[in-house]
């Protein structure tokens, strides 16, 4: 290998860039702040992440509620109409009491 040629410089640049990419990949995977091209740190948006987590928890609760409703609708769609009418009448009589 010619140590003074342009191939050596290109290899050094390629190895440095590859190391930087691997370093940022590991940092991102473990939740650390990422390093930008000038050596500074890029915040991962702590407030945004906590807001997204709160919204995600709310959406999970709503999804669970809708799952219950879908189960009831599936039962109504698959039951015989006589059973459905009897259950509706039982619910009506229970509401009046």
Q: How far apart are CA 82 and CA 57, in angstroms?
A: 40
Q: Global pTM?
A: 0.36
In order of 3, 33, 50, 76, the CA distances from 45 in angstroms are 44, 9, 9, 46
- Mind listing the pLDDT tens digit for each residue in 31-88? 777 766 666 666 666 677 788 889 999 999 999 999 989 998 888 778 777 777 788 8
Residue 9 banded pLDDT, cuts 50, 70, 90: confident
The whole-angstrom separation of Cα 29 and Cα 68 is: 35
């Amino acid at each position: 290998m010619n140590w003074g040629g342009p191939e050596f410089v290109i290899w050094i640049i390629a190895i440095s860039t590859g190391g930087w990419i691997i370093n940022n990949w590991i940092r991102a995977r473990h939740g650390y702040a990422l390093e930008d091209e000038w050596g500074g740190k890029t915040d991962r948006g702590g407030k945004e992440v906590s807001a997204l987590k709160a919204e995600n928890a709310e959406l999970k609760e709503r999804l669970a509620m809708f799952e219950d409703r879908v189960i009831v609708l599936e039962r109504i769609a698959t039951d015989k109409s006589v059973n459905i009418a009897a259950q509706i009448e039982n619910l009506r009589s229970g509401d009046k009491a």
